[in-house]
Structure 1
Amino acid sequence: MFPVPALAQQIEREWASEIASFDVRPPEKVTTDARPWLRFPAGVLRIELMDGSEIRFSYAFYVVSEVRRTIAVFTEHCGHHLYPYHEAKIYRDDVLVYEQV
C-alpha cells in the first residue's frame, strides 16, 4: 500500500471514536465500513496555528481532542493531518468555529 493511504487508514483507526462522534456511527463501523463513507462538507476549512502558519483545505472536516491536544483534519482528496491545538483557531468559510485558549 502506498504511504499516504496507509497513513490515512492509521489515523482513521486511531481517531475512530472521535470520527464516530462527528459522523454519528459506532466507532467499530469507522474502521470496518467500506470507504468512502466519510461526509466531507463543501467549503473551506482554515486553521491558524500559534506561529502564524495557516492551512487551508476544501472538502474537509476537523475533530479537536483536548485529551490529545491535537486537531485532526480529514480531507476528501488530500489525506488526513494532525496539528497541535495550542492557541490554534479554526475557521469554516471564514467564520471562527473553534479557538483554543
Structure 2
Amino acid sequence: MSGNSVGIPTVSSFDGEIPLPHLKVTVSDHLDNPFGIQWQRYWEDAPYPGLVKTVAHVAFEVDNLAAALEGQHVIIEPNSPGRGVTVAFIEVSGAPVELMQVDHRARPDL
C-alpha cells in the first residue's frame, strides 16, 4: 500500500475544477501540486456519507482492492471515478480512508 493523495472537502469553488457528473462531485487534479492535495466539492444530491463530505481523507493505492476491503467497514462501495481507476472508502477510527486500485497500463499518468 502506498500513499497517493489527500482529499479535502469544501463548499467553495477552486482553481482547476473537474466535474464528475456520474459521481456528483467536482474535484481538482491531485497531480497539479507536489503534495497530492485534491479539493472536492460534493453536489447537493451526492449520495455519500456526511463523514466523507465533511472530513478530509487520505488515499492509498492498493494492488488488489477487493482483498484490501476484506474485513473493513466499507462506507462507499467500489466505483470508478475515471478510466483505469477503481476506488472505495472505508472508515478507520472515525476517519474516512480512500483505497484505490489503478491499472497503470491504462493510466500511465498515475
Q: What is the TM-score normalised by the length of structure 2?
A: 0.31
Greater fraction of residues in strand = 2
Higher relative contact order (CA 8 A, sep 6+): 2
